[in-house]
Structure formats: C-alpha cells, structure tokens
C-alpha cells in the first residue's frame, strides 16, 4: 500500500493537491504552540527573531526537540555536547539566556547526558519566546505581511523561502 506524502493534503476526493504551507498563517496567531508546530511558522518566527538578534532561542528550542528523538547513546552524547557547546556553556557562540542554576546543572551532568538533560532550559526558553517574542512577532511586519500576503518588495522573498523550505 502506498502512502500520501505529508506535504499533500487530502481533499476528500480521490485527488491530492500539494498543501500551501502558508495556509496556516492565521492559526499562528492563536498560540505559540500552533506557530512552532508548523515548519513554515518556525521559519517565519526564526526570521523575526533574527531581526531582534535572538535567533538562538528558536535554534536551541529546535535542537532540543530533535535531541529528544535520539535513539542511541553515542548519538545522544554527541548531540548533547554540540548543544552544550553551541548554546549553554558560558561564552557559547549562540549562548541562550538562562539562569545560573540551570546552566550549572546542565554543566555538571553533560558528561552523562539523558534525554531530559535540556528540559528545564528548553522550558525557560519556550517561556521567554511565548511571553516576550511571540507577542512582538504577531505585530511584526513579517507576520502581518504573511497574513495579508503583502506585495511589499521586502516580503515576497520570505514567502518564497517559506514555500520552498516547507515543500522539501
């Protein structure tokens, strides 16, 4: 039996059409969860966070989501060390803004990581994004332009990028 690729939506008939990744733009305004559950939403939010110089937040959150899917210990150790050196350790290139206690706890346990090693930090970053960044995103030119499918010269490249990246 064959499977319909996830990027296609079933219309209820015997025909499938590619789903426009920007069809869900309105739902992104309902909650940060809906925004983050959609690949196009993640990309748009990342572009917004880049403009605010806080892209490390979504990159860390996404890295943690991938980390939780790891099946082997060697892969977990490698990924944990990468996340730690990229986002958590003091002076990391994309250091996230977490409290000292959380950073210290991760540092102490990094030699023997578990699938929950970054949970506390991920929750803190999620809360930061939900409380501070997400409301600004909803008012941003990026989101408002995607809602309107604006013809502003600045927005079509983002729209094109979203469509291209989510159709992979």
Q: In the prediction, which pLDDT does 2 show?
A: 38
Give the residues across from 38 on adjacent strands: none
Q: In the prediction, which pLDDT does 81 show?
A: 98
* Exposed/middle/buried for residue 89 (C-beta within 10 Å: 0-12, 13-18, 19+): middle
Q: In the prediction, which pLDDT does 12 show?
A: 40
Percent of the chain with pLDDT over 70: 75
Q: How far apart are the C-alpha atoms of 106 and 162, rounded to whole Å?
A: 34
The dihedral sign for the CA sequence 6, 143, 146, 51 = negative
Q: In the prediction, which pLDDT does 68 show?
A: 96
pTM equals 0.78
Q: Nearest to residue 107, comparing CAs of 75, 91, 84, 76?
A: 84
- Please report, for the chain, the start and end positions of each structural domain, with discontinuous segments joined by +: 31-163
Residues in the chain where the model's pLDDT stays below 70: 1-23, 150-168
The class level of CATH for 31-163 reads mainly alpha
Q: In the prediction, which pLDDT does 45 show?
A: 96
Q: In the prediction, which pLDDT does 151 show?
A: 40
The dihedral sign for the CA sequence 45, 140, 161, 96 = negative
Q: Between the CA of residue 105 and those of 79, 97, 112, 127, 159, what are the distances in Å? A: 17, 15, 12, 19, 40
Q: In the prediction, which pLDDT does 159 show?
A: 59
């Amino acid at each position: 039996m064959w499977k319909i690729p996830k990027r296609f939506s079933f219309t209820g008939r015997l025909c499938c059409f590619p789903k426009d990744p920007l069809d869900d733009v309105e739902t992104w305004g309902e909650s940060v969860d809906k925004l983050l559950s959609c690949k196009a939403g993640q990309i748009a939010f990342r572009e917004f966070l880049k403009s605010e110089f806080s892209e490390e937040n979504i990159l860390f959150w996404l890295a943690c989501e991938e980390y939780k899917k790891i099946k082997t210990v060697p892969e977990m150790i490698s990924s944990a060390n990468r996340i730690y050196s990229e986002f958590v350790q003091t002076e990391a290139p994309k250091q996230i803004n977490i409290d000292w206690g959380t950073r210290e706890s991760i540092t102490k346990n990094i030699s023997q990581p578990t699938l929950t090693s970054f949970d506390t930090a991920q929750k803190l970053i999620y809360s930061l994004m939900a409380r501070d960044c997400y409301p600004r995103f909803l008012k941003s030119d990026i989101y408002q332009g995607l809602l309107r499918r604006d013809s502003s010269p600045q927005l079509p490249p983002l729209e094109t990028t979203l469509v291209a990246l989510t159709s992979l």
